[in-house]
Chain A
């Protein structure tokens, strides 16, 4: 009777625990979603920045024309006159996801616009990501750690920075895919089920569709497999977890057009194939060991080792020959700079110059993972006590990702989930110990210490045991005897805990510790909310500034793009620096010459050359490209620092890289870049200067530039080949039209015929770009 009662109460406790976990998870999802809404509340529901606009435009096309047209889409609105094959050059995961979401919502009569779906894709997927984190951490260290890790991930600033509402970029869905793939891998490893192995390959396929960062997975998992083999943890479960992933995963990855044959041809994937061979050799060895007597096995080992070594070296030689035959040894520059951190700074200035590829300093860690940085070491140690296949994977994940994040600040995003998992484990273990101590002392002092103490420990023991036994029921069939041995060791230790009742800490220090840990958590929450609200929510398409007379909103970009879409012909070409290409095609729906997908350097250099040339030469270049309008971004009136004048030296450099008559020193006075009266004549006569500062002196009478903090050099000038057609409210975007060539007047032609007729003909024939 008593036994029945206890079992019933255990069932009730178990059910209550499940319901509670479910509720907590639901709340975590709500929190993950809502903490990312600051950008919508503080600004409005818009797509952010540059790349998301491209993704948005692709999604629009997908929803309008369907999957097959999207797959074959040749976009003639960009890179005029070359165009761009969109279907084969994008990672389609994000667009397909949002498109499917939109379709589902519409089919159940929720008429959301495509833009709304795009804006809220990232927050929705961060809720999914936190649930995936729960699943992954639960596989590693139990449900308590899982819930803590999920709560931490829901608001980790590093992830928020890439997934606020409106930040519609690949990383938004890729982080979920990354964590979920890892979860399925660990699940397969723990259960040895082919069902999960297949799911794992499909999750990997989704990740490949979504983000170039999938190479991290296809290198990390082989590393873990190798680690397991080297440390003597090989098991059939490991084989089931790994072999299907490589075969199915590689086949599926090759289906994504942007990856294609890279999935078998580049060095980033070779590690997985090598480990694939090794695991087969090891599996064979274990199989033979199973069917032979120990003496026979010894003989066989010598045989197999010698033959296997020869085979391995042959394969290795082929691989090395393959790798060595490609110029960069088969590695892309970005991956090489991860292995050798000084590589990029030495050889690839383009990668080194991007701010996302800089190595971070210690404040970056504090900004992006905050107090988790303190908790991770405790998590690492907890993973080693005891060490299992799953926890060794977690350790490997944190170690590799923390190293990579040290090389490139951008990879902090990959570190964030690992840090959350580790901190979740650490916090959960700490709370476990401290609350157990408090409970033991409190219950012990109020009532009969002997019995109740035993009861209290029994409760915790029950929890642990029930989970454990459930696991073993599920997994007993597949687990190896080694595992069982380990559990057998663990069970006596639990029993001894009950007997000795010693694994507790003093009451008052435990209370203090709990208080401090809660304080730490509270600080984390405050920091995350602050980061989400202040640091990472600005859409950069609408700008605000707070001054003593209130809030100012600068909505010039959309003003300009709206003007373009309403006042120009559909087929007009708009030239601007490449930063604004995606936005112009998406918002103004006009053809651009270059955009943010910087695949053709010559084309970008042509635009750079035009903008750094004098008016006439620039007109010739633009006219040869059928350009009707030129758009420049100018921040001098309101003090917007990332405008075209500040980017101008890059235009000169890139232009000069292809067209040598553009020389950077011509634009610098004694090595200094300046636009005041000391500026060089080349600078003062180039198109960018003229288009930026045309009529600028009329605003305040002296032409004071608030970004450069100086008066401009040349104040009064006229434009001969361009005419101003539109300037936005705060002068941030200025649009000019190319004047049509002047009509020839009979008399004039006659008069100049003798003088310049021949020279004119020769100039017309000359390539205008040179």
Chain B
């Protein structure tokens, strides 16, 4: 019960802020009121911009009382992965929602719009937009939208919502504040997972005490350990952190693919995995020969398998050494007494 006064206070505050912000905008302009109403109807605060609405907005005398940030969307292009329109659209909505929740007083100073190509082709023509993705900021002073509005560069939405917010901060002088990303799992899901874990724990403990779980199978541990080793020595972490592609196209001849990159500071995905495989296979073969093959009774089988293992190991080591010399440019040499030469 001790909480309730605070909740009341917060609710009251929210109510007041909700009441005051439209009240403040009431006095300025009917269009702003209409936009505010549209904004509050939309769950993320992004307003669907139609041709007529745009015309009315642009008919306002400059300086208009607000900035407008417009996201140009086209439903029939959502299927193209290289444009990543759906991602950008959801990030745009995220910025909008965060801005409005963080700055309740500036809600009517910056409006977020989206334009759909199919229904508002003339708007696209008016801005001269002929390629997507395209995001544009219309400052209050702009009278000719084609030339005086500011286009968001590709670099400004490369880091998604964060860089969009920076763009707004640098061009419109509004601070977006913390981007409120929805958590990956919702609260209900978390509660469900916790409940499942709680129910499972006694059963698991019982199994644990009787010594009969997946963790008691040492082969799984062995496979896991070798896999982690393979994963690390192949430099996969480098590929993840640097987001390296598996292969790249040759610069001279784009039809050819480059699997191995010369220069020790960088590696490609496929390259790392193949060398990681070579690193691992030698050890696995050695373990196989020393622990499994010795138990085989058939002499010929032993001989053949061992010859094969030795050949593969020798080849793998030789390959790695030559590739390393090629990649790093080091020439490793021994220090032989000069009298021997």
Contacts and interface: CB of A to CB of B under 8 A. Distances in A.
Interface of A: 230-232, 285, 301, 305, 309, 341-342, 345, 359-367, 371, 373-382, 384-385, 387, 395, 398-399, 402-403, 405-407, 426, 429-430, 432-433, 502-506, 508-509, 512-513, 516, 520, 523, 526-527, 529-530, 533
B267 A361 contact: yes
29 contacts: A301-B206, A305-B205, A361-B264, A361-B265, A362-B234, A365-B279, A367-B328, A373-B279, A374-B279, A374-B320, A377-B287, A378-B283, A380-B229, A381-B291, A399-B228, A403-B231, A403-B232, A406-B232, A406-B233, A406-B236, A426-B286, A502-B294, A503-B295, A506-B299, A506-B303, A506-B306, A508-B303, A509-B306, A530-B333
Main secondary structure of the interface of A (DSSP, over half): helix
Nearest to A402: B232
B229 A399 contact: yes
A362 B324 CA distance: 9
Interface string B291-302: 101110101001
Contacts of A379: 283
Contact of A378 (B201, B276, B287, B324): B287
Nearest to B331: A530
Contacts of A365: 233, 235, 279
A538 to B, nearest CB: 15
A663 B232 CA distance: 41
Contact residues of B: prevailing secondary structure: helix
Interface stretch (B26-34, B66-74, B134-142, B308-316): B308-316
Contacts of A509: 302-303, 306-307, 310
B251 to A, nearest CB: 20
B237 to A, nearest CB: 4
A48 B133 CA distance: 54
A378 B241 contact: no
B272 interface: yes
B290 A341 contact: no
B151 interface: no
Interface string B219-255: 1011011101111111111101110000000000000
Interface size bucket, B side? 35 or more
A513 B310 contact: yes
Interface stretch (B102-110, B117-125, B210-218): B210-218
Interface string B6-49: 00000000000000000000000000000000000000000000
B327 A363 contact: yes
B201 A377 contact: no
Contacts of B333: 526, 530
Contact of B287 (A285, A382, A529): A382
A361 B229 contact: no
A529 B332 CA distance: 9
A382 B287 CA distance: 7
A533 B330 CA distance: 13
Contacts of B330: 367
Nearest to B279: A373
B294 A374 contact: no
A374 B316 contact: yes
B275 interface: yes
B209 A285 contact: yes
A230 B220 CA distance: 14
Contacts of B222: 380-381, 384
B314 A395 contact: no
A363 B310 contact: no
B57 interface: no
Contacts of A526: 332-334
Contact of B225 (A230, A366, A395): A395
Nearest to A531: B332
Contact of A377 (B202, B229, B235): B229
Given A301-B209, A399-B229, A506-B306, A362 B287 contact: no
A362 B328 CA distance: 11
A516 B314 contact: yes
B298 to A, nearest CB: 11
Nearest to B275: A362
A402 B229 CA distance: 6
B301 to A, nearest CB: 10
B229 A506 contact: no
Interface in B259-299: 264-267, 271-272, 275-276, 279-280, 282-284, 286-287, 289-291, 293-295, 297, 299
Contact of A309 (B201, B314, B320): B201
Given A364-B264, A406-B231, 8 more contacts: A359-B241, A361-B267, A363-B267, A377-B229, A380-B225, A381-B226, A509-B310, A529-B335
Contacts of B271: 362
B317 interface: yes
B225 A385 contact: no
Contact of A374 (B282, B310, B334): B282
A505 B294 contact: yes
Nearest to B273: A362
A365 B272 CA distance: 11
Q: Which of A309, A345, A374, A504 has the most CB of B within 10 A?
A: A374
Interface in B110-155: none
B306 to A, nearest CB: 4
Given A362-B267, A398-B225, A433-B289, A345 B332 contact: no
Nearest to A369: B233
B216 A375 contact: no
B208 interface: yes
Contact of B237 (A384, A407, A523, A530): A407
A660 to B, nearest CB: 15
Given A361-B235, A395-B225, A377 B283 contact: yes
A374 B283 contact: yes
Given A341-B237, A399-B225, A402-B233, A381 B287 contact: yes
Contacts of A382: 287, 290-291
A230 B266 contact: no
A378 B283 CA distance: 4
Contact of B233 (A362, A380, A407, A503): A362
A549 to B, nearest CB: 21
Given A342-B241, A381-B284, A512 B293 contact: no
Nearest to A286: B209
B270 to A, nearest CB: 12
A520 B316 CA distance: 12
B229 A359 contact: no
B313 A503 contact: no
A360 B235 contact: yes
A543 to B, nearest CB: 20
Residue among A232, A363, A433 having the largest count of chain B Cβ atoms under 10 Å: A363
A384 B290 CA distance: 13
A361 B334 contact: no
B234 to A, nearest CB: 6
Contacts of B241: 341-342, 345, 359, 407
Which 6 A-B residue pairs are closest in the complex by CB-CB distance? A377-B283, A406-B232, A381-B287, A406-B237, A374-B282, A378-B283
Contact of A376 (B215, B218, B283): B283
B267 to A, nearest CB: 4
A124 to B, nearest CB: 24
A381 B223 CA distance: 9
A361 B218 contact: no
Given A341-B241, A384-B221, A232 B290 contact: no
B294 A406 contact: no
Nearest to B211: A232
B282 to A, nearest CB: 4
Contacts of B299: 506
Contacts of A362: 233-235, 267, 271-272, 275-276, 279
Contacts of A520: 317
A286 B211 CA distance: 13
B225 A371 contact: no
Given A367-B328, A426-B286, A359 B235 contact: yes
Query: Which residue, of B206, B271, B283, has the highest number of chain A Cβ atoms within 10 A?
Result: B283
Contacts of B321: 523
